[in-house]
Amino acid sequence: MNQFQYVRPTKTKAAIEALAKDANAQFIAGGTNLLDLMKRGVMTPPRLIDINRLPLDKIEKAEAGLRIGALVLNSTVAEDKLVRERHPLLAQALAAGASAQLRNMATVGGNMLQRTRCSYFYDTAMPCNKREPGSGCGALEGHNRMHAIFGFSDKCIAVHPSDMSVVLVALDAAVLLSGPKGERRLAFSDLHRLPGDTPQRDTNLEPGELILGVEIPDSPFTRHVHYLKVRERASYAFALVSVAAALSLDGNTIKDARLAMGGVAHKPWRLSAAEKSLIGKPATEATFRQAAELAMQGAKAFKHNAYKLQLAPNTIVQALKNAAASA
């Protein structure tokens, strides 16, 4: 690990000012990802701004819905009564992530800013445009079992690893930001970006911006929801494919639906066309299969991830079946 300076402001304004002074500085909260990256030499921030003492650790009812502070722990959100009542899908996704020990350290803000788990990104002896722009994409012609089938570019085919983000995209959440130019609100679906020619940028955060929290609007998706994460072992692994499925049912008829996928793109992948196709239809496997096929339009596989073309639609179907069956 490199040497670094460390500061621990107690006020949000001070934290933002500290970052403004040093463009290479990094905020640190739980550190569950950043410390690994620093130990491996992937990230070498000269200064860490510890934000754990900022007053951003509340879950509150807000006008538009539920507001969750950036510093609330993943385990706290997963167990919170309000969250479980109003957004059980979010609780499920958080419980599916990492391990109990990590969930007890990781924060909501840090969760959405996780860097990709692409092996080429993690090894400084390998090419990676995200880590070192211009060095090439190691995964493109290399091992790409875990990689994207949507929205990639020839510069980067990595996927975003967060489970929580998949649900926040599905539930039309917004992320609340504060920066040198003041506060702003960003649709969660606009937080993460596709790699294009600048895969080094994971998000649309402006320089110096701090995440204050997220807001999730109230919704009818409180019963028939399921977060299905398919992975290579029963726990503590990143998704091969994950699906957040939420249904609003009238009898067996689908009134409204939300669908998003993880493990398939550089950002959480909202399946809007598939959602629309579900509305007004009976909640049957045939309906779900049609939606899944719609969702897969435009998907393209690489050498080692062709299985995702089969796994992804199957996972959508299974998640919808589970959502419809849950009460």
Partner 1 sequence: MSNTALFQDKVVGDRMNRVDGRLKVTGAAQYSAEYQLPGLVHGALVGSTIAKGRITGIDTKAAERAPGVLAVITHLNSPKVPGFAAKSNPDEPPAIGQPLRVFYDERIYFNDQPIALVVADTLERARYAARLVKATYAPEEHRTNFEANKERGVLPTQAKRNPKSPQNDKDRGQKDGYQTAPVKLEAEYRHPSEMHNPMELQSIIAHWEAPDRLTVYDKVQAVKGTQRAFAKDWNLPEDNVKVVATFVGGAFGNGLHNWPHETAAIIGAKVTGKPVKLVLTREQMFTMVGYRPYTWQRIGIGATRDGKLVGITHESVGQTSSYEEFTESTLQQTRMMYACPNVSTRYRILGLDISTPIWMRGPGEATGAFALESALDELAHLLNMDPIELRLRNYADTDPDNGKPWSTKYLKELYQMGAERIGWSRRQLKPGSLREGDWLIGYGMGVGTFGANRGAAKVRAVLRQDGTVLLQSATTDIGPGTGTAMVQIAADALDMPTDQIRFELGNSTFPNAPSQGGSATVNTVGSAVLAACIDLKKKLQQLGGASFANVQPEQLTLTNGQLGLKANGGPRTAFADLCKANNGQDIEVTTEAKPGNERQQYSMYSFSIHFAEVRVHALTGEVRVTRLVSGADAGTIVNLKTAGSQMIGGAIGGIGMALHEGAVMDDRFGRYVTKDLADYHVPVHADAPPVEVFFVGKPDTIVDPLGTKGIGEIAIIGVAPAITNAIFNATGKRIRELPVTPDKVLLA
Least CB distance to partner 1 at residue 186 (A): 29
Binding mask 18-47 for partner 1 (x = CB under 8 A): ----------------------xx------
HSE-CB at 292 with a 13 A cutoff on CA atoms is 23
Q: Rounded CA gap, 274 and 154, in Å? A: 27
Residue 141 touches partner 1, criterion: CB under 8 A: yes
Question: In the window 219-238, what residues touch partner 1 (CB under 8 A)?
Answer: 228, 230-238
β-sheet bridge partners, residue 176: 185, 213
Amino acid identity of residue 297, one-letter, is Q
42 or 113: CB nearest partner 1: 42
Torsion of CA 273, 277, 283, 287, to 10 degrees: -100
Interface pick for partner 1 out of 119, 198, 203, 284 (rule CB under 8 A): 119
Cα dist. 92→215, 245, 265, 274 in Å? 18, 11, 21, 22
Least CB distance to partner 1 at residue 83 (A): 23
65 or 262: CB nearest partner 1: 262
Q: Rounded CA gap, 132 and 121, in Å? A: 9
Residue 154 touches partner 1, criterion: CB under 8 A: no
Residue 193 touches partner 1, criterion: CB under 8 A: no
Cα dist. 202→109, 283, 307 in Å? 14, 36, 26
Interface pick for partner 1 out of 29, 30, 49, 120 (rule CB under 8 A): 120
Interface pick for partner 1 out of 1, 134, 298, 327 (rule CB under 8 A): 1
Question: How many residues contact partner 1, by CB under 8 A?
Answer: 38
The secondary structure of 131-146 as a DSSP string is TSTTS--TTTSS--TT
Least CB distance to partner 1 at residue 313 (A): 9
65 or 142: CB nearest partner 1: 142
Q: Do the beta carbons of residue 287 and residue 278 sit within 8 Å?
A: yes
Least CB distance to partner 1 at residue 259 (A): 16
Binding mask 70-99 for partner 1 (x = CB under 8 A): -----------------------------x
Cα dist. 253→60, 225, 249, 256, 301 in Å? 33, 15, 6, 9, 34
> Could you identify the residue written with the tokens 């091992």?
143
Least CB distance to partner 1 at residue 175 (A): 26
- Return the range that interacts with partner 1 (CB under 8 A); candidates 54-62, 67-75, 272-280, 317-325: 317-325
Cα dist. 243→10, 49, 92, 173, 189 in Å? 38, 34, 11, 17, 16
Contact partners, residue 247, CB within 8 Å, separation at least 6: 221, 224, 225, 254, 256, 257, 278, 283, 320, 323, 324
- Return the range that interacts with partner 1 (CB under 8 A); candidates 115-123, 189-197, 198-206, 271-279: 115-123
Question: In the window 236-255, what residues touch partner 1 (CB under 8 A)?
Answer: 236-238, 240
Interface pick for partner 1 out of 8, 47, 84, 117 (rule CB under 8 A): 117
Question: In the window 276-315, what residues touch partner 1 (CB under 8 A)?
Answer: 306-307, 310-311, 314-315
Q: Do the beta carbons of residue 56 and residue 70 sit within 8 Å?
A: yes
Residues of this chain that bind partner 1 (CB under 8 A): 1-3, 40-41, 99, 117, 119-120, 122-123, 125-126, 138, 141-143, 145, 228, 230-238, 240, 306-307, 310-311, 314-315, 317-318, 321
